[in-house]
A and B are shown apart, each in its own frame.
Chain A
Amino acid sequence: MPTVSMTVNGKTVSRDVEARTLLVQFLREHLNLTGTHVGCDTSQCGACVVHVDGRSVKSCTMLAAQANGASVTTIEGLAQGDKLHPMQEAFREHHALQCGFCTPGMIMSAIDLVKRNPNPSEETIRHELEGNICRCTGYHNIVKAVKAAAANM
């Protein structure tokens, strides 16, 4: 089995895994970082979005081996100690989540979109989040939260 090494949430990790192991399986099953979710099998839903070298990636679409040597950030790595990331705070403040299942991927995508669009319009936010499906909120409050977080990031 190949050995895969990467930095996850600031810590260096190394595991022997089957070559077919997806990044999301590596995170969930080998590192027990279960905050990253799997909601589909066609790379449509976005529940598995993490950051790889600073860019948002659907971790079900990437082999763990492809992330060898990379720096990965998951939802568990966003808060600094007890201090939440502004996007996490905004999701709570604006009731941008209900069941919470899409939330980690949604937050990771939203952070990336604000990095690239520091002052996004509603239209930009809606367009950018097209790859993350939420079945609960109707997106109304997610859009509000992303706008609010953009002002605080």
Chain B
Amino acid sequence: MTAESGIGASVRRKEDRRFITGNGRYTDDLNRPGQTYAFFVRSPHAHARIKRVDTTKASKMPGVVAIFTGKDVADSKVGGLICGWLIKSKDGSPHKAPPHPIIALDTVRHVGDQVAVVIGETLAQARDAAEQVQVEYEVLPAVVDPKDAAAKGAPQVHADAPGNLCYDWELGDKAATEAAFAKAHHVAKLDLVNNRLIPNAMEPRAAVAEYDFGTDSYTVWSTSQNPHVLKLLLCAFVLQVPEHKMRVIAPDVGGGFGSKIFNYPEETVCTWASRQIRRPVKWTAERSESFLTDAHGRDHVTHVELALDKAGKFLAMRVDTHANLGAYLSTFATSVPTYLYAPLLAGPYTTPQLYIEVKGVFTHTTPVDAYRGAGRPEATYLLERIVETAAREMKIDPAELRRRNFIPPDAFPYQTPVIQQYDIGNYHASLDKALEMIDYKGFPARRAQSEKKGKRRGIGFSSYIEACGIAPSAAVGALGGGVGLWESGQVRFNPTGSVTIHTGSHSHGQGHETTFAQIVADKLGVPIENIEVVHGDTDKTAFGMGTYGSRSLAVGGSAIVKACDKIVAKAKKIAAHMLEAAVEDIEHERGVFKVSGTDKSVNIAQIAFSAYVPHNYPADVEPGLDETAFYDPLNFSFPAGTHICEVEVDPDTGIVDIAKWVAVDDFGTVINPMVVEGQVHGGIAQGVGQALLETCVYDKQSGQLLTGSYMDYCMPRADDLPSFEVGMTTTPSPLNPLGVKGCGEAGAIAAPPALINAVTDALGIKHLDMPASPEKVWRAAQANRPRMAAE
């Protein structure tokens, strides 16, 4: 039975039944008796002083239950939201952490900043009344670009962050890097922007908060990727509620991509307000609110230089980045452009010296935090663009240049000069397989054929590595992280042999209900239909850290394996008693416990029954078969691979057609290939979105969000994308019991440089900032026509 449902099988997803029949239960689908509705009054200005908030007229509107302003919140001593990762500047000083109130008190700092909340009997009544809240603003100058914000004389976002600087951070050996540059044969240089993105999980954020006066406790349903962490933040840092008086439930969640990791003002306000009015409060974001308030991603402005010797060996790299943090620090904002970014600039290469400087800058824009890949896409884009540039400038084949600089497969474990020690990998194998799959040798002929049609064809490479499976708690703590990043797993046998798994990870599309069940099916021989995975409820699951950073399987899956190990250890004792044998003579394989060298055996279901009906049972063993394990990883995991894409550009329209996309990834052991391929497809689509279609635009003068709806922000649609060819190579991680690495972010990390390398190759130009929109591509094609003289 486990052959079809265990590790390595493309088991069809257990969770799909409810989703394909309309029986999913998302937060907005839930309603509580006596429920009210919250509607937020938001700032129409990027930067303004609040002179007066007049709620007189609004409070007389039909159905208004209450209206709260920043003053009400401040008067009730509610804390501000916190950022949980301490970054120290070059001079050793801690990052600037200005207050982040859940409703603005005297100043608004981005369009959409919340100024008041109206709570009504119906949503329509709350919305109608919100229109009658009169706010008098004194509009102030705003700044939206991170380099502009860091310049002298820029409008200041926070009085206690002079120069809008949150931190000025560095990593690497500056002197050794300079010395290596002095000896370089060639230096490749690029200035580039990693464009700002808006995450756009299809389910808008939502919350339902209920305060129970009788027990003085709260229940909060929220669209969270990590309900336990949200509970900890709400209780211990913001609302000062004891943790045993709060339950947070993240039911079905419609995508996250990072944006639902964080503690936001809205669910915090709903929770606080539910106590003030002693009724449940529901809030669901309109999509326009999602655009304005979901934490955005990326937004780096960078100068990079790569030094090479005559043979094309990388000698050193230096990087200077301005990272936009937005108006306030979101929950993990500080870590993304520092520790999740700079160490990854070593990539899959042997570059001996790196020096990276990052200025984290406040602007009058929505807070910026982790978005699918978080720091690693920014690093990979930079690295793979500069490697490609160096290859072109030195006239070395781009695949060959990468090969010359890859860490060789026999060099692991490999210590990079910037923190990380890679456990295992074979980068040559992924590159070679990708070259074969795309038929690299046939490219010149395909290019010639495109040119006959008046099109320009280009090929683009991206060899990436990422650090995920985050993360060893001690390592994270040493780098400034404010939390442990272990995971919990509980394997509970029911008396008749079925199993309930409780995990602290959270699935919002990743398919844990299937893949985690496969692990237990494989280890304990339980039919997969007899296994249920429970997640997303702080009252049902031991503490957990949630899902982000491709960590669920490597960390959460490993915790489940450890719990299975405990089950087996106990089951052996029970089996020994049942079979009248010594414990050391009991062998276990996939749920069958056998006396060694005999045909006497019992199975796990029989053992479970005996454990719960212990009429004939070993005296020194507790009844029950239910084990919990907490797993703290030994290291990050390091998925890697090569993506290659071919594009055909129409110089007359600027339209980029993706002719072919090949992805070869090494995720270590794969539990469910179907699910993994799905993650790769989705990741590539988001990466292609960034490279070709999506970008968040603020007006430089007014700070208005110009891409505030699906009519202005170009989401990838079905007809923008090709089908993808996905291949795998495998080097199982030696550092976790499953040998897994994580696959959720790889596509989004690998795709953007592959696409821009292909587009610039097609156009014969050095660089084009993302997204490669038809207008930009058309202009570049017109300016650079005909193709390079040599061709």
Chain A positions within 8 Å of B, measured between CB atoms, are 18, 20, 28, 33-42, 44-45, 47, 74-76, 78-79, 84, 88, 91-93, 95, 97-104, 107, 122-123, 125-127, 129-130, 132-143
Contact = CB atoms under 8 A, between A and B. Distances in A.
8 contacts: A35-B22, A38-B204, A42-B710, A45-B710, A99-B509, A101-B203, A126-B721, A136-B202
A138 B681 contact: yes
B717 interface: yes
A31 B114 CA distance: 32
Given A40-B287, A99-B202, A138 B20 contact: no
A98 B710 contact: no
Contacts of B683: 138
Contact of A100 (B19, B287, B681, B710): B19
B76 interface: no
Nearest to B712: A42
B653 interface: no
B332 to A, nearest CB: 21
Given A42-B287, A44-B709, A137-B682, 11 more contacts: A28-B29, A34-B26, A88-B21, A92-B17, A97-B16, A99-B254, A99-B508, A126-B718, A133-B202, A135-B715, A141-B678
Contact of B718 (A47, A92, A135, A142): A142
A92 B16 contact: yes
A95 B202 contact: no
B681 A45 contact: no
A84 B202 contact: no
Given A42-B710, A100-B252, A101-B26, A76 B678 contact: no
A38 B682 CA distance: 21
Nearest to B254: A101
Contact of B709 (A40, A95, A127): A40
Contacts of B201: 99, 101, 135
A132 B711 contact: no
B215 interface: no
A125 B21 contact: no
A41 B16 contact: no
B202 A135 contact: yes
Contacts of B686: 135, 138
> What secondary structure prevails in chain A residues at the interface with B?
loop
A24 to B, nearest CB: 11
A102 B718 contact: no
A101 B717 contact: no
Q: Which 5 A-B pairs have the closest CB atoms?
A: A35-B22, A101-B254, A100-B19, A138-B685, A99-B509
B12 interface: yes
A3 to B, nearest CB: 18
B243 interface: no
Contact of B12 (A47, A92, A132): A92
A16 to B, nearest CB: 14
Contact of B20 (A41, A92, A139): A92
Given A103-B20, A137-B678, A122 B202 contact: no
B20 A91 contact: yes
B687 to A, nearest CB: 10
Contacts of B509: 98-100, 136
B19 A97 contact: yes
Contacts of A40: 287, 709-710
Interface of B: 12-13, 15-26, 28-29, 124, 200-204, 252-255, 257, 286-288, 508-511, 674-675, 677-678, 681-686, 709-711, 715-719, 721, 723-724, 747
Contacts of B15: 100
Nearest to B508: A99
Contacts of A132: 718
B163 to A, nearest CB: 37
Contacts of A127: 718-719
Given A41-B287, A42-B709, A129 B202 contact: no
A41 B288 contact: yes
A101 B202 contact: yes
Contacts of B17: 92
A87 to B, nearest CB: 9
A132 B717 CA distance: 7
A74 B20 CA distance: 11
Contacts of A103: 19-20
Contacts of B255: 98-99, 101, 135-136
B709 A75 contact: no
Max chain A CB contacts within 10 Å: which of B19, B29, B747?
B19
Nearest to B710: A44
Contacts of A135: 200-202, 255, 257, 682, 686, 715
B254 A107 contact: no
B681 A133 contact: no
B222 to A, nearest CB: 15
A28 B282 CA distance: 15
Max chain A CB contacts within 10 Å: which of B23, B203, B204, B718?
B718
Nearest to B24: A100
Contacts of B257: 135
A125 B202 contact: no
Contacts of A79: 21
Contacts of B724: 138, 140
Contacts of A36: 22
A40 B288 CA distance: 8
B672 to A, nearest CB: 9
Contacts of A142: 718
Given A79-B21, A98-B255, A133-B710, A92 B13 contact: yes
Contacts of A137: 678, 681-682, 685
A135 B258 CA distance: 13
Given A44-B709, A93-B12, A140-B724, A33 B510 contact: no
A53 to B, nearest CB: 20
B612 to A, nearest CB: 32
Contacts of B253: 99
B21 A75 contact: yes
A44 B22 CA distance: 20
A151 B682 CA distance: 25
A95 B715 contact: no
Contacts of B717: 129-130, 133, 139
B202 A138 contact: no
A57 to B, nearest CB: 16
Contacts of A39: 202-204, 254, 287
Contact of A141 (B22, B681, B719): B681
Contact of A34 (B22, B288, B511, B682): B22
A137 B678 CA distance: 6
Contacts of A130: 717-719
Given A92-B13, A133-B717, A104 B22 contact: yes
Contact of A136 (B23, B287, B288, B682): B682
Max chain A CB contacts within 10 Å: which of B124, B254, B510, B723?
B254
A140 B663 CA distance: 14
Nearest to B29: A34
A133 B715 CA distance: 8
Contacts of A97: 16, 19-20
B711 A44 contact: yes
A84 to B, nearest CB: 7
A130 to B, nearest CB: 5
Contacts of B12: 92-93, 95
B476 to A, nearest CB: 27
Contacts of B711: 42, 44
A129 B287 contact: no
